[in-house]
Amino acid sequence: MSETAVIHRLFTSERVEAWRARYFWPNAVVAILGLASFLLFHGKLFPAAWEPLVAIFQSLCLLVLIGETVGVYAVARRLRDGWEHAGPDTIALLVGVFLGLALFFFSHWVTGVLDDEGTFTAFAYLTQAGLLGFVGSRLLRLFSFITRLASAPLMVFVGSFLVLILIGAGLLLLPGAHKPGVNPTPMNALFMSTSATCVTGLTVLDIGRDFTRFGQLVILTLIQIGGLGIMTFAAFFSLLFGRGTGVRDASAFGEMINVDFVGRVGRMIAWILGLTFSIELAGTLALYGNWVDEAGTALPAGEQLYYSAFHSISAFCNAGFSLHGDSLVRYAGSWPMVLSISSLVVLGGLGFTVMTDLLTYRFWAHPLARRVPFLRRRVRNQAIPRLTVQTKMVLVATGLLLFAGTAGFYALEYNNTLRDLGWGDQLARAFFGGMTPRTAGFNTVDVANMKPASKYFTILLMMVGASPGSTGGGLKTTTFALMFLALVATFRGRSPEAFRRRIPEGLIRKSLVMLVLVLVLVNMATMAMMITEADGAAAARHGFENVTFEVVSAFCTVGLSTGLTPELTFGGKLIIIATMFVGRVGPLTLVLAIGSRRAQKFEYPDEAVMIG
């Protein structure tokens, strides 16, 4: 590139950034007002007579948001330069224009395919879709801007979950979010919003029975954003629009997703979003056609698509929310459903770094592949590929947990909840029962009827949870793997090792600290629950093991329940809400806090004490 082209590009970028800086606050204000009008309208807080006025207002908001994109082309002065700085917005705008022309062609003004009311409704939906798209990008850029201004990006991460929970609770209280006759209290709305944002799955209301389609979509949005984290979307849009995440923000986010090199964070964010939407789309297609009502009749095509998308997102995000009141009990013997949901849960629990490592692994350069003459000539100068220790550890731990969970559940429940079933149904339910404690929350058997030993076994699986950098919770598979390796190394008198690599002592200390803190928090929450629920409605029917089960399920963001949650007292619900929140953001905060300790100026002399 010549010096003239470089100078031209720099001046163009400077003009575009200056224009966006001037347009920043109009963008932010209009985006907030447009989103508020959309949510309040669909929440049925506005009278039906206001619909034309709301449509006009939303159209004006959309025009103001589009004004930034038009301004970028104006200050860039060339279409090519404008495209470089506003490519995503331009694509969205062109799609909107094309759909608008298509609607105009089919309207009552031209071909008459749509009548007056149909034309108005179609244009209103198109306007709202465009408004949501532009509003979403603008608000995420605003959040990214606030993150860069904050002295502690980690606190912004924690605060974002809290703000999202409060907004979700407010939306679930709107009249349009719940069905007639259902009057959710602020506490129940806060509980449902927290459970969805923290991808837990515990519910005090029936999603399919008590919430409207708008309320269900609010919950689904909370699941998607909560599962991936607001900072993921914000960082992605910062990179998409050429602003970058900054070294400090990239370091904080890199620690959360286990990426040490700051320069790789942007690529990792793109991988996360790409994998998420691709897997959820594949899950939607795999689940389509398998949904039935209570009578066993297949649902209509539109409902099939909606149910498939909802449960695909819920499964991949390890949320465990279902539109059926009995979760997935009616599909217990359906292997297509069991395998589809299980695959989504396992993929979501592997962790994005593991999936990226597997997808970028150059299998054609493996030593076994080099024995093929055709490949050997082409890869002779390439380095031998290798998977990271984390990937190997996660894959081994996941396989062992799935096998142990299935075998353990079958051995404990074969003469109880699995007693009257055929061998195929028994295996399907045992596999699902051993998989779902890995923070999934779906169930195909009545958890309340499980044996106490089975419940305790499930508690142990819930404590382990998913893998780091995933959508799941728990202590993480690698944490337990490291502690096991430390135990083996202690007996062998050597340093902890795995796959011919030595494990740093600092990671062992972090794992032990995590275990101790989790045990302390779980026991404190259990003790508090025993006090608050001593005289509650559930006291006579639920014992100590069920209270412990519920607390562990909340802290590890699993969502399995013995039926205690809907009967909790006000204090009990507050404890579970706090437990879910700490379980979702606490471990991440703890890891970063431990990792950012300042070096000590001095150390005291050693002195031994007796142990054991």
Q: What is the pLDDT of residue 135?
A: 86
pTM: 0.85
**Which phi-psi region, left, alpha or beta, contains residue 321 (left: φ > 0; alpha: ψ -120 to 50)?**
beta
pLDDT (average), residues 16-34: 88
pLDDT at 291 over 90: yes
> What share of the chain in percent tops pLDDT 70?
85
Burial of 472 (0-12, 13-18, 19+ CB in 10 A): buried
**Which phi-psi region, left, alpha or beta, contains residue 605 (left: φ > 0; alpha: ψ -120 to 50)?**
beta
547 contacts 533 by C-beta, under 8 angstroms: yes
Q: What is the pLDDT of residue 365?
A: 72
161 contacts 581 by C-beta, under 8 angstroms: yes
Q: What is the pLDDT of residue 220?
A: 94
55-106: pLDDT as tens digits: 899 999 999 999 989 998 988 888 888 888 888 788 888 888 898 898 888 8
Which of the two residues, 437 and 369, has the higher pLDDT score?
437
What confidence tier does 297 reach under pLDDT thresholds 50, 70, 90?
Answer: confident
pLDDT at 148 over 70: no
Using CA atoms, how far apart are residues 162 and 159, in angstroms rounded to an integer? 5
pLDDT (average), residues 410-416: 91
Q: Which two tokens stand for residue 287?
A: 């689940």
Which of the two residues, 540 and 464, has the higher pLDDT score?
464
DSSP state of 48: G
Phi, psi angle pair for 309, to nearest 5°: -65, -45
Q: What is the pLDDT of residue 215?
A: 93
Using CA atoms, how far apart are residues 486 and 477, in angstroms rounded to an integer? 14
- Is residue 446 helix, strand or coil? coil
581-600: pLDDT as tens digits: 988 877 556 555 545 555 56
Q: What residues are paired with 211 via a beta bridge?
A: 178
Range 312-322 burial, b when 16+ CB lie within 10 A, else e:
bbbbbbbbbbb
Q: Which two tokens stand for residue 298?
A: 């297949």
What confidence tier does 611 reach under pLDDT thresholds 50, 70, 90?
Answer: confident
Which H or E run contains 497?
A: strand 497-498
373-392: pLDDT as tens digits: 766 666 667 777 788 888 99
pLDDT (average), residues 102-125: 83
Cα 25 to Cα 28, 68, 85, 89: the distances in Å are 5, 11, 19, 18
Least confident interval from 108-122, 238-252, 326-340, 484-498: 238-252
Q: What is the pLDDT of residue 596?
A: 53
312 contacts 287 by C-beta, under 8 angstroms: yes
Cα 436 to Cα 314, 386, 420, 465: the distances in Å are 13, 30, 22, 10
411 contacts 456 by C-beta, under 8 angstroms: no
pLDDT at 255 over 60: no
**Among candidates 349, 446, 360, which has minimal Cα distance to 394?**
349
Q: What is the pLDDT of residue 230?
A: 60
Q: Which two tokens stand for residue 221?
A: 């949005």
Q: Which two tokens stand for residue 106?
A: 């089919």
Q: What is the pLDDT of residue 261?
A: 46
CB atoms within 10 A of CB 209: 11
pLDDT at 190 over 80: yes
pLDDT at 207 over 90: yes
Phi, psi angle pair for 74, to nearest 5°: -70, -45
DSSP state of 324: S
159-189: pLDDT as tens digits: 778 888 999 999 999 999 999 888 889 999 9
What confidence tier does 242 reach under pLDDT thresholds 50, 70, 90?
Answer: very low
490 contacts 519 by C-beta, under 8 angstroms: no
What DSSP line would sit under 531-572, residue for residue?
A: HHTTTSTTTTT--HHHHHHHHHHHHTT----SS-GGG--HHH
**Among candidates 40, 56, 93, 38, which has minimal Cα distance to 71?**
93
Q: What residues are paired with 459 via a beta bridge?
A: none
519-554: pLDDT as tens digits: 989 999 999 988 888 776 555 566 788 889 999 999
Q: Which two tokens stand for residue 244?
A: 């970058």
The 3-state secondary structure of 246-263 reads CHHHHHHHHHHCCCCCHH
Using CA atoms, how far apart are residues 67 and 27, in angstroms rounded to an integer? 9
pLDDT at 254 over 70: no
Cα 297 to Cα 54, 323, 337: the distances in Å are 39, 16, 16
Using CA atoms, how far apart are residues 247 and 261, in angstroms rounded to an integer? 10
* Longest CA pairwise span in the chain (Å): 90
pLDDT at 262 over 80: no
182 contacts 128 by C-beta, under 8 angstroms: no
pLDDT at 333 over 90: no
275-285: pLDDT as tens digits: 888 999 999 99
> What share of the chain in percent tops pLDDT 90?
27
pLDDT at 142 over 90: no
Dihedral angle, C-alpha 261, 265, 267, 272, nearest 10 ° = 130
Distance separating the N- and C-terminal Cα atoms of the chain? 70
Q: What is the pLDDT of residue 585?
A: 79
Cβ contacts of 510 within 8 Å, gap of 6 or more: 591, 594, 595
Cα 377 to Cα 191, 366, 372: the distances in Å are 61, 13, 9
Using CA atoms, how far apart are residues 563 and 561, in angstroms rounded to an integer? 5
Q: What is the pLDDT of residue 459?
A: 93
DSSP state of 211: B
Using CA atoms, how far apart are residues 534 and 540, in angstroms rounded to an integer? 9
Q: What is the pLDDT of residue 28?
A: 86
Which H or E run contains 501?
A: strand 501-502
Q: What is the pLDDT of residue 610?
A: 79
312 contacts 196 by C-beta, under 8 angstroms: no
